[in-house]
Amino acid sequence: MQIAITDEDVVEQTGSKIIEKIWGNGCNEPEYQPALSLTDEQFFGHGILNNVSDDDLKMNIQQIIRSADKINAGYLSMPGYCFPPDEKTESIYETLKLNPGITEFTVVEDDVAVGFMTRTALNEMLGGKYGFNLHAKNPIRDIMNSDFLKVNYYMPIDQVSSLAMQRPFELLYNPIVVEQGGKYSGIVMVKDLLDTCMKIAQAERDEITVMKDSLKIGLFFMDGNYIIQDHYSRYLEEMLSEKDLAGQCFPDILSASFNAKELCDIRDYFAMIFEHTFEQSTLDDINPLGEFHYVNAKTGKRKVFNCSFSAIEQAHEAAFVLAVIYDVTAKVELQQRLAEEESKRQEEMKNLFELIQVEPQVFDDFLEDAEYEFGRITETLKDEAMSAHEALVEIYQSVHAIKSNAVILGLNTFGDKAHKLESKIKKLREQEEVPFDDMLNLTMKLERLFREKDGFKTTLEKINSFKLSVNGQRQGQYVLIESLTKTVNKISGDMGKKIQFIVDEIDDEAIEKGPRRIIKETLMQLIRNSAVHGIELPADRIARGKNEAGIIRLSVKVSGENIHVKLGDDGCGLDYDKIAEKALRLNLIKPEDANDKNALLKVIFSPGFSTAETEGIHAGRGIGLSLVQDRVRSGKGSIKVQTEPEKGTVFNVFFPVSP
């Protein structure tokens, strides 16, 4: 057998062929050969379904039948027999006599179906007393049926079936004409259509059976007395930690999870489902088992379930309730852990915010006092001569002192914890006997409070350390150097260059009294310019007798009333000829200024000017030096350029010192 398909339909025909392989071909073999013809073996080895076994196909059938664009009229269609509208009726009649297998035909004009006729209708037309004499010599268009069912190639078969069944009884079993892109594609036999619909329904029923036995959900039916029916999913027993569930009352299984009133409410809810007087959406909203903590009555094992219930009707009455249970224990536990971690993070942030508001000297005094009180608590707990009540009095006083000092300083989060611990101690003091377990629990809470106090100390030390020094540098220095170093590393890596960034000097006073943001942005652009345009590729540098790694040097210092920012490289220097050529092309200079170096130096700061031939992420748009000039002007500064061919370029930027 051969399957006839065009190149463009290869993928579309795949779904049809899979169905055909599983269910058998309900269509006649094609009578024509379009652009591409493949045998069964060739088709499955064509790269579309390489090495696909029958078992694999059967396993995937559910995915196929669910896809609306996989099972449609086109997949069930066959070419059918066609005649042009001007074909003589007697000629068609003779063709049908010689081919008993032709039971119907389509009249096609310019690839468009314009008429349809069955063998029976033609015989009736010609079999009358004068029928043959009247119609035999006339074209078939005169007697063809122009009112016939046409559907789109991609129409799902359930819609096709619905349209077919709406036709008059005498036309009910006539084939359906299929069109693709407005042109005739073939016909679908009603028998094939109905067989396929039945097989899809059967496949869906089979899928439910498979799902019931393999999916990790609890699935069961419950009758009007809330009794679990015989057929339920295997996983249900594992979920509920119960065996032989058929015949058991579902609310009774939940007896250890709810109190008597709650169980009564659950039964009332099930009754509402059976009454079938409420919308499903309303029932879902009031579902008392939407998410609940299940406790097994025998083992005490706990889980978290999510349940949904819906009525199954018979003769417009709710005969059963379908229950679906999902085990969401792992999900809920994860959510709880995430919530706890988020709460802890929020608390840490709040503690940090409160901490940085406290003057360091005042906080040191608080820590010293807290250390003393915690020391007293430790000694009290070690004193075996003290009774529990005597120890609680001493501990209560120390915790109260710690709390009071924390609240005064604005450490409210820490103070609240101390207050709750104080309340717990007060309740213990009111008891006649203090159990050992209660004292042990109190000791653990005191230990947690002590660790939190130490955490404050560590955090404050880190903050002060960062403020004062980062790797031996001031914070402003560190941030600036890190940003510029990352810029150099990024560009050199992207462009295949080797560049060494050297910081000769950065004056703290220059950073503190200068326009910090403008200095940083100016240096970022100048470094990009040096790394992209100044420093050569390693091979070019070696050819010129240089080290393969280029050097960019930086210094920032106060010089008199100015801040002097100096950035230089040992690259190729400015190419005045190339600058002049590009400037003349853009009409940025006059021809007589082509050799004026001062004029050319001004050009490189012009918006949109770049000597790069192509645009890239790092260069080519002529923005960098233009931005430098604008930023320097905004900081009331000035800029000077020194350059020497093959030796490099130095940018000297001056800003006034801020008072």
Comparing 276 with 247, the larger pLDDT belongs to 247
Q: Where are the alpha helices (H) located in 357-435, listed in sequence order?
A: 360-382, 388-409, 412-430
Q: What digits encode the pLDDT tens for the residues 149-194?
A: 999 998 988 888 888 888 888 888 889 999 998 999 999 988 888 8
Q: Looking at residue 11, what is its pLDDT?
A: 33
Mean pLDDT of the chain: 79
Q: What are the CB-based long-range contacts (under 8 Å, 24+) for 444-447?
A: 445/421, 446/374, 446/377, 446/395, 446/399, 446/421
- What length is written for the chain? 659
Q: How far apart are CA 242 and CA 240, in angstroms?
A: 5
pLDDT given for residue 126 in this prediction:
86
Averaged pLDDT for residues 60-68: 39
Q: How confident is the model at residue 215 (pLDDT cuts 50, 70, 90)?
A: low
- In a 10 Å sphere around its CB, with 0-12 CB exposed, 13-18 middle and 19+ buried, how is residue 401 labelled? middle
Q: Which residue has the tokens 């809470």?
A: 445
What is the crossing angle of helices 436-468 and 360-382, to 10°? 160
Phi, psi of 130 (to 5 degrees): -120, 10
Distance CA 425, CA 437 (A): 14
Q: What was the pLDDT predicted at 280?
A: 85
The pLDDT score that the predictor gives to residue 464 is: 66
- Given this model, what pLDDT does residue 262 score? 93
Given the DSSP bridges, would you call strands 562-569 and 638-644 parallel, antiparallel or unpaired? unpaired
pLDDT band at 133 (very low <50, low <70, confident <90, very high): confident
Q: Is pLDDT at 396 greater than 80 in this prediction?
A: yes
How far apart, in whole angstroms, are the C-alpha atoms of residue 469 and residue 269? 67
Asked if 87 and 112 count as a contact pair (C-beta separation under 8 A), the reply is no
| Mean pLDDT of the region 280-297 | 90
DSSP string, 478-499: HHHHHHHHHHHHHHHHHHT--E
Please give the domain boundaries of the chain with CATH numbers for all domains. Answer: 1-212 (3.10.580.10), 215-327 (3.30.450.20), 335-466 (1.20.120.160), 475-575+611-656 (3.30.565.10)
Highest-pLDDT range among 25-29, 165-169, 344-348: 165-169
Predicted local distance difference test score (pLDDT) of residue 539: 93
pLDDT tens-digit readout, 142-151: 999 998 999 9
Which residues does 116 contact at the CB level (< 8 Å), separation at least 6? 104, 105, 106, 107, 144, 145, 148, 174, 175, 177
For 579-615, give the DSSP string: HHHHHHHTT-S-GGGTT-HHHHHHHTTSTT----SS-
Q: Model confidence at 473, in pLDDT bands (50, 70, 90)?
A: low
Instruction: Find the mean pLDDT for residues 504-517.
Output: 82
What pLDDT score does 58 carry?
36
* Banded pLDDT at 317 (limits 50, 70, 90): low
Q: Among residues of the chain, what percentage have pLDDT more than 90?
A: 23
Q: Can you give the pLDDT at residue 43?
A: 30
Q: Return the pLDDT at 178.
A: 93
pLDDT for 580-592, tens place per residue?
888 888 888 888 8
* Alpha carbons within 13 A on the beta-carbon side of 593: 14
Say if residue 355's pLDDT is above 60.
yes
Strand 292-295, strand 176-180: pairing? unpaired
What pLDDT does 204 receive?
Answer: 66
Encode pLDDT of 220-242 as tens digits. Answer: 999 989 999 988 888 888 889 88
Phi, psi (rounded to 5 degrees) for 20: -60, -40
Percentage, residues of the chain above pLDDT 70 = 82
pLDDT band at 31 (very low <50, low <70, confident <90, very high): very low
pLDDT exceeds 50 at position 3: no
Q: What angle do CA 53, 54, 57 make, to 5 degrees?
A: 90
What would the pLDDT profile of 598-651 be if each residue is shown by its tens digit? 888 888 888 767 776 655 445 544 566 878 888 888 888 899 999 998 899 999
Highest-scoring range by mean pLDDT, 130-134, 291-295, 314-318: 291-295
Q: Which of 25-29, 169-173, 345-349, 573-577 has the highest mean pLDDT?
A: 573-577
Please identify which residue in the block is written with the tokens 């560190």: 478
Q: Say which range, 106-115, 202-211, 415-424, has the weakest mean pLDDT.
A: 202-211
User: Could you tell me which residue, 637 or 200, shows the higher pLDDT?
Assistant: 637
Q: What is the pTM for the complete model shown?
A: 0.36
Return the pLDDT at 1: 28
Show the tokens assigned to 321.
């309730």
Residue 14, pLDDT > 90, answer: no
